[in-house]
Structure 1
Amino acid sequence: MNTSTISKQLSLASAIATIIGASWSGAALAQTAGSAVDQNEVVELIVTGSRTPERLDEVTASVTVVDSEALRQDLQLTAELQNILSFRVPGLAPTTNSTSNFGQTLRGRTTLVMIDGVPQSTPLRNGALDVRTIDPAALQRVEVVKGATSIYGNGAAGGIINYITREAGGEAFNVELTQQMSVNQVESDDSTSFRSSATVDGTLGRFSYVFNATVDDNGLQRDAEGDIIGQAIYGLSGVRTQSLFGKLGFQIDAEKSLSLTANYYDAEQVERLIDVTSSINDGTKTYAVKPAPGQAIPGEPQGVDGNTNLMLQYRDAELFANTSLTVDAYTQEIENVFFYSATFADPAAGFSGGNSVILSEKEGLRLNLESVFDLNGVETTFIYGADILNDVTSQPLADGRSWVPEMDMSNEALYLQSKFVIGDWVLKAGVRDESVDIDVPDYTTLRMCGANNVCRGGNPVEGGKLSYSDTTYNAGLRYNVSPAFSPFVSYSQGFDVSDLGLLLRAASVPDLDQVQTEASVIDHYELGVSGRVGAFNYEFAIYESESELGTATVENPPGSGLYVPVRAPQEIEGWEVALGLMVNEHLDLGTTYTYVEGQDPDTGVYLDARKISPPKFTAWADYDLGNGLSASAQWMKVMNRDRFVPVDMATGRYTGAEAPVEGYDVFNLSARYGRDSWRASLGIENLFNEAYFPARAQAFTYSGYNTMGVGRTIKAGLTVEF
């Protein structure tokens, strides 16, 4: 870190200390935050928005919490988190029915995915496999905070998805065993999938523990016409998922605790198939077939070849004078193997193609303090601390060739978040000072040979150090005038140097300093309101997101598989609404609507489908029939988006991610029956066997992406607890 950066951060640290010291000297110390709450009141808390538990009615941003009940209910239909979140979270793009969340943006921008605050995303080379990095059986809930934020650092241009892992129960020994089986109803041949999950947890005096092991073997995934869904590009057919999760806790005394959390996740395609590829421009679908006897399939199996997380947390609820301390030390290692592509051919070197692999190793330390005061009748909270992260990411090919060189990032930050509760008003403001240094070695861009043996790349680039620093701010105001009407307004900034690797691998200049690697600062504005009137609840938000430098890319030349950066400004706006109605003690109804659109404000050109998704409507009904029997129905409607003209008017062919999307509907149905220690379930995904192409499959013109959605699939399960 250079001298000016150190001086700047020391000044911020000094300012933090001065503010907090003045507050202590002039305030009567309050009781702890928890004791100020009526013990008979049910208070919903989240941790993601401010890094410590806080009431939802004190959050000045749009938040969606997918709780344990919703997760368990949706597991009766699918174990794919990208599908579950797509339905449950307004603002998140429609599901892609694949192992990848490429194109599944949040409010038109990328998200930072975390497990208990540990980043799973690889923002230096975004491979879009981060949503699928833990099994839902290991989760307590999912918290989604929408809108650009820098509170956790780089990568959260569109918001944060934080997986909160399971906690131990109060009993000494609890066991949950689940066995599920699913089969495609249209064509059952080799489509049977099996899922087994076991969880053991408990509390023994000061010790607590949670262990989960899950194995999920996908059979052949078939579409509504009975064909095997194309597998070569992020397919789910034949994917074997293995997940191990463990958490150990020790309560040192009434205030101090220690916990160790470990998670291992592996999801690879063990069934090798061959795709019959086409493009959406051809008017046909991509589907898969089994190889002929003895037929070789080139490349390595794609998927997550091991994602390992380890986090040690120390917490002191009363470090001094009404101040708590949380220290997290964590590591994460991930190896993501991508699909085999002939784009990587280099006949002169003996290569006909290859698989790329994203390798990422992270080590981090988070120091977080929270001080709570009664400042002359104003409930005042300061959250402050430091983040240190080292992230080493590269993207070689599986055969040893280098595509994206090793990027060694050192990231240090100081932050301060404040909250003032003045009667019914909640005022929040924060600042984060970020310093990022990235070392890049000398490298040579990958030589790739396309049709007619026309080769590109092989360009030597002199490396060096890239340094970024910025101070980002946020502010928000909420007025809890009544339970029926609680409006809020907020402004937040995000600091984004994501996908640097995408820029480096396309470099055509001899020096790193000439690559367009400038960081993006995103300004996000939001106005919303939420409330509850009797059995009716609602939330509405409207927002705008601006950045002077986008991070889009364009394929140049078309069909080459080579992408160059487009650092044009971006302006994204949209709105979301969520409604719920408890009709009676048996029937619960809900619905959401999402609209997002974006364009280059200088040219008026719309952003393509890698950023912007079509409008999305969801609805559900949960019905309790009594005597342990209940049923749920879900409906997702994806609507039209047609913003671009064909590149060839005569043939109607589109390019890139600019093809039109035609709306489609998907219905799901599930039922449960259970007693004290067991419950059985039955789920039907795509109830009416709708033959549809997901939004990404329609908008992306690249060969192999135009796969249909899964056909009618029936899943049965049994869970036993003791």
Structure 2
Amino acid sequence: MLKTSICILSVAISGHVLAAVTQAESSLEHVIVTGSRIIESIDEVPASITVISQQQIQQHLKVNPELGSLLAQMVPGFAPNTGSSSNAGQTLRGRSPLIMIDGVPQSTPLRNGSVDLKTLDPNAIARIEVIKGSTSIYGNGAAGGIINYITKQASRNEQTDAEISLSSRFSAVKLAESVGGRLAASVNGRANNFSYLVTASYAENGVQRDAEGDILGLQYGLSDSEMQNYFTKLSYDFDADKSLQFSYNYYSAQQKTDLADVVGNSNLGEKTYAIHVPVEQQQQGKPQGPDGNVNITLKYTDIALFNNTQMTLDVYSQDIENVFFYSANLANPSAGYNGGQSVIKSKKQGARATFNSQFDFDQVAATFIYGLDALNDVTSQPLVDGRIWVPEMDMQSIAGFLQTKWVINDDIIVKTGIRKENIDLTIDDYNTLKLCKSETQCSVPLAVRGDTIKYNATTYNAAIKYNLTPAFSPYFSYSQGSDVSDIGVLLRSATVNDIALIQTQASIIDSYELGFISQFDQVRFEVNAFRSTSELGTSNKFNEVTGVYEPIRAPQKIWGYEGLINYAISPSLKLIASYSFVEGKNTEEDIYLGAKQISPPKATVNLAWQANDQLGLTLSYLFVGDRKRFDKNSQGEYSGDQGPVSHYSLVNLSGQYQFDQHWQAYFGIENLLNNDYFPARAQSYRYGGYNIKGLGTTATIGASYQF
């Protein structure tokens, strides 16, 4: 029970800080894999890393089941939660992260729809690893870093273990129609050399209500949504060194409702909310959300290929279909379309070979990680009615990499690396669409000549850490990333008739980080400052003539800092706090970047009390600060992603009671004080329909049984 109580501290802090709380946690929290594609001690990583343990994930589920909420609460530098199924604006240090499951990319960077956080149910996750800053360790899409969902492993015991949990979530402001249910189950075991793990989760949401009891608006909404996730992992050990593993993941989360929005004016501070309407006024088109996304991975591992070399070979395939809401902005009255609904379709097939060789010299331990990555990514964004908004983009990429780590005298760690990426991106001839916001505000369709665009990029990284004393362990890191992101936005907004004339060049991001870690008897500190620059960014500007937001590829600079503190007030009372600040500019015009990239300051405080072996309580606090960088336009309104953000705060309460080794009951209350607020994105985004308030007081009660 002591370990469980310590894990309750997890809300709002990174896993490696929690590792200092107890030796029992350190065995997990000091191990990561995403940073260098191998398992290594976090004490030997000269960068800011967040590891969220399985216990921490389960604790946050008591408050909110969405992974976007979990990451916003626990990862400094990750933007505040949006309160919806979309993670648009939830950047990592001002840039988009690459979402992965066991190292397999889930994001669709060629057309980033910002719904990639919802790819797996937390019930299947053993831990989440977050590495911040652009990286040359992995390929395209990791401009802001990596968020890697590490799935559970089967038990090593020669027995079958199982767990089932049942919970209900509902509005404490107005109960009517808000009651939802969630059922999660897992079974795992081992028989001789064969091991297996199966998890299944199913959830239905009732309507989501704000602090006034009104139903939240439907754009990327979670009201009346249904989630299904089925995950399987099968492993066979040929001997102590060699194993073969197969994994399958199916994920679906769609909204099926009889509601419709009452749209408010964000510039007047009016909210958008939903009401019940007749059939003819309900949402048109298909249900929005992931429509049965599938991942399949086959991995072969030999941990003793040679005396000092390990090898991992894996192949994977992925089929993604993310359906978006019906929008009047996709109208073309002259062709008979009063709106439209888009779908991002992406099919990936990849293969990777990773080798890890280790050598011991006099006072120096050296590690070499090297290999090849190959990927075919075919992504498009058609409309449900058959029109092609973003044409099919066929990317073939192959990359070789080498990473080295040198541990000198057990306390100086030096890392260097290089990645050589070759990408061919083929787009056939296509026509841009005529889209109208009004009868007089329409884009101009163009016939665009296709081509094969070739990218060749070499990126580097170097870092050093000096574990001088427990009280002072400084580090510095430099890393580059090559980003061919959101080419789809550039294509669908083309204003020229040849792809060769569109600014589709890859962006090279240079990231710098300087920080230190200090550990005393009862207190642990971590402080870091960061900066990233790129010659080509992807912001946008509204064209008042055509009604289209057109991309701007101008140089960018992003900077900020983060701080963490962990204080053991007593054996039963722990305090953890964090603060993060990020800011950015278009350096060509010396203007601040909008909320699509830059989030307001964020602070978290967490107080955990273990009353006894059975009862534990956690009180968490989130503060989102002001960010007011922009002036109103000529019409006296804010536009795009440039609305001002005013501060707000939230308090959550959760706890559990362990009856015996099998039964546990738990509860969680989100927005305990029923704060009436607009989330940061709802305040800053002045695109239609985003002005939706945050959840009012919402409660979860449940029980789990292990056998």
Whether 1:698 and 2:683 are equivalent positions in the alignment is yes
Aligned runs of 1:652-663 on 2, under 5 Å? 652-663=636-647
Q: Deviations over 1:38-82 (max 9, x none)?
A: 999847210000001011011111101111111011011111000
Identity of aligned residues (%): 48
Instruction: Look up the match of 1:108.
Output: 94
Distance 2:26 2:132 in 1: 27
Q: Shift of the alpha carbon at 1:597?
A: 0.4
Aligned runs of 1:123-142 on 2, under 5 Å? 123-142=109-128
Whether 1:361 and 2:361 are equivalent positions in the alignment is no
Instruction: Look up the match of 1:665.
Output: 649
1:74 aligned counterpart, secondary structure? helix
Instruction: Look up the match of 2:551.
Output: 565
Distance 2:675 2:449 in 1: 53
Aligned runs of 1:196-595 on 2, under 5 Å? 196-231=183-218, 233-292=219-278, 295-423=281-409, 424-452=411-439, 454-557=441-544, 562-595=548-581
Q: Shift of the alpha carbon at 1:453?
A: 5.2
User: Which runs of no fewer than 5 residues in structure 2 stay unpaired?
Assistant: 1-22
Instruction: Look up the match of 1:613.
Output: 599
Q: Shift of the alpha carbon at 1:604?
A: 1.7
Aligned runs of 1:31-42 on 2, under 5 Å? 42=27
Distance 1:632 1:358 in 2: 39
Q: Deviations over 1:296-340 (max 9, x none)?
A: 532221111121111101000011131000011101110001111
Distance 2:391 2:122 in 1: 33
1:583 aligned counterpart, secondary structure? strand
Q: CA RMSD in A?
A: 1.5
1:87 aligned counterpart, secondary structure? helix
Q: Shift of the alpha carbon at 1:436?
A: 0.7
Change (3 A) 1:596 1:40: closer
In the comparison of the two structures, how many residue pairs are matched?
681
Query: 302-311 vs 450-459, which deviates more?
Result: 450-459
User: Which runs of no fewer than 5 residues in structure 1 stay unpaired?
Assistant: 1-37
Distance 1:378 1:644 in 2: 53
Instruction: Look up the match of 1:683.
Output: 668
Amino acid at match of 1:720: Y
Q: Shift of the alpha carbon at 1:294?
A: 5.5
Whether 1:119 and 2:105 are equivalent positions in the alignment is yes
| Contact in 1 for aligned 2:260/2:282 (Cα 8 Å) | no
Distance 1:616 1:296 in 2: 37
1:626 aligned counterpart, secondary structure? coil
Query: 449-458 vs 333-342, which deviates more?
Result: 449-458
Question: What TM-score comes out, normalization by structure 2 length?
Answer: 0.95
| Contact in 1 for aligned 2:565/2:576 (Cα 8 Å) | yes
Distance 2:162 2:431 in 1: 54
Distance 2:502 2:163 in 1: 53
| Contact in 2 for aligned 1:155/1:497 (Cα 8 Å) | yes
Distance 2:329 2:642 in 1: 21
Instruction: Look up the match of 2:14.
Output: none
Distance 2:228 2:25 in 1: 41
Aligned runs of 1:699-718 on 2, under 5 Å? 699-718=684-703
Amino acid at match of 1:338: F
Q: Shift of the alpha carbon at 1:601?
A: 2.1
Distance 1:568 1:223 in 2: 39
| Contact in 2 for aligned 1:272/1:301 (Cα 8 Å) | no
1:78 aligned counterpart, secondary structure? coil
Amino acid at match of 1:367: A
Instruction: Look up the match of 1:175.
Output: 162
Q: Shift of the alpha carbon at 1:452?
A: 1.8
Amino acid at match of 2:648: Y
| Contact in 1 for aligned 2:441/2:547 (Cα 8 Å) | no
2:611 aligned counterpart, secondary structure? strand
Q: Shift of the alpha carbon at 1:103?
A: 0.5
Distance 2:31 2:527 in 1: 20
Distance 2:307 2:661 in 1: 46
Distance 1:710 1:624 in 2: 28
Distance 1:131 1:301 in 2: 18
Distance 2:661 2:685 in 1: 48
| Contact in 1 for aligned 2:303/2:309 (Cα 8 Å) | yes
Instruction: Look up the match of 1:76.
Output: 62
Distance 2:265 2:233 in 1: 46
Question: What TM-score comes out, normalization by structure 1 length?
Answer: 0.93
2:390 aligned counterpart, secondary structure? strand
Amino acid at match of 1:108: G
Instruction: Look up the match of 1:21.
Output: none
1:495 aligned counterpart, secondary structure? strand
Aligned runs of 1:82-93 on 2, under 5 Å? 82-93=68-79
